Structure 1
Amino acid sequence: MQSSLPFSDKADFDDAQRGLVARPDTLTIKDAKGNVVWDLEQYKTYIGLDKPAPDTVNPSLWRNTQLVMQYGLYKVTDGIYQVRGYDLSNITFVQGQTGWIVFDPLISAETAKAAFDLVTEKLGKKPIKAVVYSHSHIDHYGGVRGIISDEDVQSKRTRIFAPEHFTEHAISENVIAGNAMGRRAVYMYGALLPRNAQGGVNGGLGQTVSTGTATLMLPTDVVKKTGETHTVDGVKMVFQMTPGTEAPAEMNTFFPDKKAMWMAENTTNTMHNILTLRGAQVRDALKWSSYLDETIRLYGKDTEVKFQAHHWPQWGNAKILDYWKKQRDLYKYTHDQSVNLMNKGYTGTEISEMIKLPPELDQFWPNRGYYGSLRHNSRAIYQRYMGWYDGNPVSLNNLPPSDAAKKYVQYMGGEAAAISKARADFDNGEYRWVAEAMKHVVFANPSSRDGKELLADALEQMGYQAESGPWRSVYLQGAFELRNGTPKAGGTNVASPDTIRAMPPEMLFDYFGVRLNGPKAAGKKIALNVDFTDLKKQYGLVVENGVLNYSSGVLPQSDARLTMSKATLDSIQLKETTLEQAISSGALKVEGNRQAFSDFMGLLDTFDFWFNIVTP
C-alpha cells in the first residue's frame, strides 16, 4: 500500500488546515452531570501530524486520521465558517445580515453547544436565524437543542429547513429497527474501544460518535424540489434534492452569491457506504451517481469552494470538478461492474473478491475506503437487486449458526483439533480463515476460552490491517467482547424522547406492531378505541391473529375506550409515568374493560440493547 498510493501528495493536509481561526488547547466536552460525551485529548496522546503510522494501524487510515484530527473553528470562505472535530460530523455557520444560519448541528446537544460557544467567543454573539438539516441521519440534527430552543421556533425567531420526508425517515430509521442498529453502531464506530494505537483510531468520517443528549426539533420549512430558493437573513440558498442517495431524504445547498456548494454527505473525502454496517436500507448507487452528475451540470461552472458535513473543504473550480467526477464515477463503476458480474452468475461474496477499481479512481485519496469499502459496497449492490439468497439450493434453508457450528466442529475432528489447525494457519497469516473456523468453535461451545482467544487474535490482526475505520472498529470491538464479555453501558440512544414524541400516531402504532410479542398474542383478541384529545383524532386498535392492526376512526365495538393526549401515551412509553399514575392523575381516562388496555401493554416487548453478536 505504501508504494501504490501517492503518500507524497500533501494537498489534503493544506486544505484540512486552511482557514483556521482558533482552536482550544484542549477539547473535552461534558454533560450537565459531568459525564464526558466527547474527548479529543485521548486521541491526541498518540495521533499527530508528526507521528508515523504504528504497526497496528493501516498507513492509509492513519493518514485519514491525521487529517480528521485537525479541529477547531475554520473560515471556509467569506461568511461561511465550520467547527470541525467536535463530533463525528461538522457544524457549519453561515453569516447573515444579523445572525447565523446553521447547517447540521451534530449528534449531541452538548457538542453543538460547545461549538456554538466557540463561534460566539471568536466571532461575536449573534442569534441563530435558521437551522438547516441536510438529511435524516442523527449526526446532522441530534444536537439542535444545544443551539436553539422551542421558544426560538415558536416565536418564529428561528426557522428549521429540511428536505421533504425528513421527519418520516429520521424517526423510522431510529425507532423501527433502532435497537438493532444502535447495538451494531457500537461495533461500527468504536465508541467503546480504548483510545490507543491498538484500539479506536478513526471512524472514517470523523473520530467517533459523541455520547451526549440526542435531540430532535421538527422542521418549520420543508424543501420539495431542486432549484427551490430561499433567502434567510440576506443569504440566498438554492437547494438540490438528492433523495435515495446517502440518505432517503437529503439535499445539497448552493450559495450563488458566494460561489459555494454545500454537499451535505453526498460527497465526502472517502468512499461512502451503499449499505452501512450498522444496518439500514440499501442505498441506490446508480441514483447517487446520477445526482452527482446533476450537481456538476447545474452548479459546476459556478462553484469555487465545496464543503460538506464531514471532512475538510476544497477550493478551486478545476479541482472541485475533477473531484466530483471521480466521486460520481466511483459509485457508477461500483454499481455497473457489480451488476456486470452478477449477470455473469457470480454471487455477492464472489463479486466482492473480484471487483477492482481502475487506477484513476483507486489512487484518488477521496475515493479510498475509510468509511465504506469496495468489498461490502459491491455486496450491497448485489443485495439490492438479488436479495439475501445467492441462488444455490444449499443456501435456501441452511442451518442456523449454533446448529451448523456443532456439525462443523464435529467434521473438523473436534474442538481441540480445530484449534490446533487454526493456530498453524494463524502463524501463516491466514487470519480470515482462522476467524471463520473459530467462529464455529465459539458458536458450538460458547465457553471455549481457547477458541475465543484465537478468534479474538484473528479479528485483532484484521482490524490492524483494515483501511476502513468502521471495519477496524468492528473487528476490534468483536475481539474486545470475546475477551471481556458483552458491555452493559455506553452507545447512543437513537430512540430518544424527542424522537418518540415526534412520531405521528400511525408511526407509533407501527412501532407497537413491531414490539408486539406474536407468540404471546396468539389466541388473544383485544379491541381498543383511542381518542387523542390534543390531536383531535381517533383510532381503533385490534390485536388478533398475533398481529396489531389499526385504523382511523372508532371501532363499532371495543373492549375499552381510552381518552388521553398523545403526550400521555408517550410518557407511558418512555416510563416517565406508569399506567396507574396516568389514570389516577386524570391524564388517562379508561371506559370499559380497563384490564384490556393493561393486557395490551403487557404484550409489548422491550428490547435488550446489549444482545450478543460474536457469541451465541
Structure 2
Amino acid sequence: MSNAVEDKPFLIVGSGTETVAPGLHILRGQGQSFVAETDAGLVVVDTGPGGSVTQGMLEAVRRLSDAPLHALCFSHGHIGYNAGLPQWLAHAAERGDAPPRVIAHRNVPRRLARYRETHALQQRMAEIQFRRPAGFFAQRLPLHAPVETFDEVLAIGQGERRIELRWAPSETDDAIALWSPAQRVLYGGAALIDSIPNIGTPFRTLRDTVRWADTLDALAALGPRLAVREFGPSIVGEAEVQHVLGHTAHALRWLRAEVVRLMNEGLGERELLARIHLPDELFGVEWMKPAYGDPSYIVRDIYRSENGWWDRNPTSLHPEPPEAVGRAVADAITDKQAVIDQASALADQGRVQLALHVIDLLATADGAAAEIAEARRLKAAWLRQRAAEVSSYVSRNLYRASADMLEQGTQARFSIR
C-alpha cells in the first residue's frame, strides 16, 4: 500500500525574483506573484502561502528595493495565495511604515464568505486534489480579508510608473491583472497559465468558458509587449502575445459552440464526451496541453452550465443510499469471480478504463468477502495505472488519492469525516 505524496511543495514554483522590465518583477512563491515599483511605493500581487515561503518572498523583495509597501493585492480569492498577508503587514509595522493598502476585487469577500461556511469541505477537497494526508490543510488555509475593493480598474501611481489593477474574470470571478501602460507589460494572474485554461475541475463550482475567452481578448486589446503568466514562462513580443491569447480565446469559443451543437442533437454528458473531437490545430499547441486541467473538464462545465444534475437515467432520480446499492448489486451477482475475470481480461487488453467500469460492480460494495476485497485491490491498481496514462495533474492526483483510500479501506468516497 502506498500513501506517499510528492515532496514538491504545494503549488510552489521556486524562489527569488525576475526583473521583466525596469521596476517590474516576477516574485516566485505560490505561483508567480508580481511586484511593481511605483512612485507611491511597492505594489505586490499575492503575499504567498505563509511561513518560510512568504518569508523568502519578503526577503527577495527587499533585495530589490527598500521602498515602503504601498499595496498588497489579491490576484484572486482562492485559498492560500494570500495566507502570508499577516507577515507582510508585520514587516511594514516593524519598519515603522504606514500600513499598506490591502486590495482585491469586490467579489473576493463573497468568495471568502463561502469558504468560511464550507471550510471543512474546502479542506478535504484540497487534501484529495493535491494528495495530502487528512488534516494537512487544517492550519494551512487561513482566510484574510481585503480592506479595499474595486470594480473594473484601479490606478496606482503617476506618470511612467503608473500601474493599473484590472478585473480579469477567468478561473474565478474575482481575478485581476496588473497592467503597466508605459512599459506595456501585463501580469495576467490566474487568467494566464501555460496549459489549457483551468475550467471545469472536478471539485469546483462552475467557471464561465466564454467569459474567460472575453477576458483574454480584453487583455490582448491592451497591446502588451510582454505577458507574465501565473504559472509558466512569460510570453514575449506583441505578436506572440496576440497569437497566444487570441488562439486560446478562439479555442474556448469553439469548444462552447461544439458542445452546444451536440447538446442540441440530444446528447447527454457521457455521450457528448465520447463524440466530441478536439482539433489538433486548436488543442495540440503547447500552451493548450492538459498539464493541470483537461479539455474534457471544460466540456463538462459547459454541459453543466446548460443542464441540471440529472444523468438522464431515471433510476438515479431518487436513488437508494450508495452502500445499499453496492451491496444489492454484489448480492445479485452469483458468479463474482466471472466479473473479476472479465475486468482483468479487459485490463490485460489495455482497456483499463472499461475494466474500471466492470469492476465497480463489486468494488463499490461493503463487506469483507474475498471477491469484494480482490475487486478493491484490482481497482486501486488500475487507478494507479490510469494515473500514469493521463496528462492532467488533477486527474493523476484524483486517481492516486482514490487508490490510497481503497487500500486504506475507505472505499474512495471522499468523505469529509
- In the TM superposition, what whole-angstrom CA distance separates every residue of 1:511-535 from its partner, at most 9, and x where no partner exists? xxxxxxxxxxxxxxxxxxxxxxxxx
Q: Give the 3 Å change call, closer, same or farther, for CA 71–210 of structure 1 in structure 2.
A: farther
Equivalent residue, structure 2, for 1:261: 186
1:466 to 363, 378, 390: 390
Q: What whole-Å deviation, never above 9, does each CA across 1:303-346 have from its counterpart, x for those lacking one?
A: 11101322231110000100101121232122121111111111
8 Å Cα contact 1:255-1:261 kept in structure 2: yes
CA RMSD, 1 decimal: 3.2
- Give the counterpart of 2:152 among 225, 229, 232: 225
- Structure 1 residue 468: Cα displacement: 0.2
Q: 1:408 maps to what in 2? A: 329
1:77-476 aligned within 5 A: 77-84=21-28, 86-87=29-30, 89-97=31-39, 99-120=41-62, 122-149=63-90, 152=93, 156-172=98-114, 174-192=115-133, 213-226=140-153, 228-231=154-157, 235-243=161-169, 245-279=170-204, 281-297=205-221, 299-300=222-223, 303-447=224-368, 448-476=372-400
Counterpart code for 1:271? I
Residues 69 and 215 of structure 1, relative CA distance in 2, 3 Å threshold: closer
Deviation at 1:137, TM superposition (A): 0.9
Q: Is the 8 Å Cα contact of residues 482 and 615 (structure 1) preserved in structure 2?
A: no
C-alpha displacement of 1:360: 1.9
* TM-score of the pair, normalised by structure 1: 0.60
The aligned amino acid for 2:339 is A
Q: 1:159: how far off? A: 0.8
Distance 2:93 2:295 in 1: 44
Q: Structure 2 vs 1, CA of residues 217 and 614 (structure 1 numbering), >3 Å: closer, same or farther? A: closer
Change (3 A) 1:382 1:187: same
The structural deviation recorded for 1:97 is 4.3
Alignment correspondent of 1:613: 414
Q: TM-score, normalised by structure 2?
A: 0.87
CA shift, 1:181, in A, is 3.0
Query: 1:70 & 1:108 partners in 2: Cα distance?
Result: 14
Aligned residues: 406
How far apart in 2 are the matches of 1:213 and 1:146? 14
Contact preservation (8 Å) 2:40, 2:157: no
Whether contact under 8 Å (1:338, 1:381) holds in the other structure is: yes
Q: Which amino acid aligns with 2:130?
A: Y
| Alpha-carbon distance in 1 for matches of 2:252, 2:40 | 41
Secondary structure class of the residue paired with 2:89: coil
Would you say the 8 A contact 1:338–1:382 is kept in 2? yes
- Give ranges in structure 1 of 5+ residues lacking alignment: 1-38, 45-67, 194-208, 488-610
Structure 1 pair 346/229, CA: closer, same or farther in 2 (3 Å)?
A: same
Distance 1:372 1:394 in 2: 31
**Contact 2:39 / 2:158 at 8 angstroms: preserved in 1?**
no
Which structure 2 segments of 5+ residues have no match? none
1:285 positional shift = 0.9
Q: Which amino acid aligns with 1:465?
A: E
Deviation at 1:612, TM superposition (A): 4.6
Matches within 5 A, 1:591-610: none
Structure possessing the higher radius of gyration over alpha carbons: 1
Deviation at 1:168, TM superposition (A): 1.6
Q: Deviations over 1:260-284 (max 9, x none)?
A: 11112112111123222233x2011
**Alpha-carbon spacing, 1:480–1:335, altered in 2? closer, same or farther (3 Å):** same
Query: How far, CA to CA, are the matches of 2:90 and 2:16 in structure 1?
Result: 25
For 1:357, the aligned partner's letter is: L
* Aligned ranges 1:37-116 → 2 under 5 Å: 42-43=7-8, 72-84=16-28, 86-87=29-30, 89-97=31-39, 99-116=41-58
SS of equivalent to 1:81 = strand
Distance change in 2, residues 1:232/1:470 (3 Å): farther
Change beyond 3 A, Cα 1:615–1:92: closer
How far apart, CA to CA, are the structure 2 residues paired with 1:113 and 1:233? 31
**Alpha carbons of 1:93 and 1:191: their partners in 2 closer, same or farther (altered >3 Å)?**
farther
Instruction: Output the amino acid matched with 2:111.
Output: H
- Would the aligned equivalents of 1:90 and 1:106 in 2 still touch at CA under 8 Å? no
Whole-Å Cα distance in 1 between the matches of residues 361 and 121 of structure 2? 23
How is 1:17-56 mapped onto 2 (pairs within 5 angstroms)?
Answer: 42-43=7-8
Letter in 1 for 2:72: V
CA contact (8 A) 2:220 2:241 kept: no
Q: Contact between 1:351 and 1:379, CA under 8 Å: does it hold in 2? A: no
CA distance in 2, matches of 1:446, 1:242: 50
Q: Secondary structure at the match of 1:379?
A: helix
> What's the CA shift for 1:117?
1.8
1:116 deviates by 1.6
Seen in structure 2, the aligned counterparts of structure 1 residues 272 and 360 have a Cα distance that, compared at 3 Å, is: same
Q: Which amino acid aligns with 2:68?
A: P
Instruction: Tell me the distance in 2 between the aligned counterparts of 1:109 and 1:155.
Output: 22
Structure with the higher fraction of residues in helix conformation: 2
Amino acid at match of 2:275: M
Name the SS of the counterpart of 1:265 in structure 2: helix
The separation in 1 between residues aligned to 2:280 and 2:188, in whole angstroms, is 25
Residue identity (%)? 19
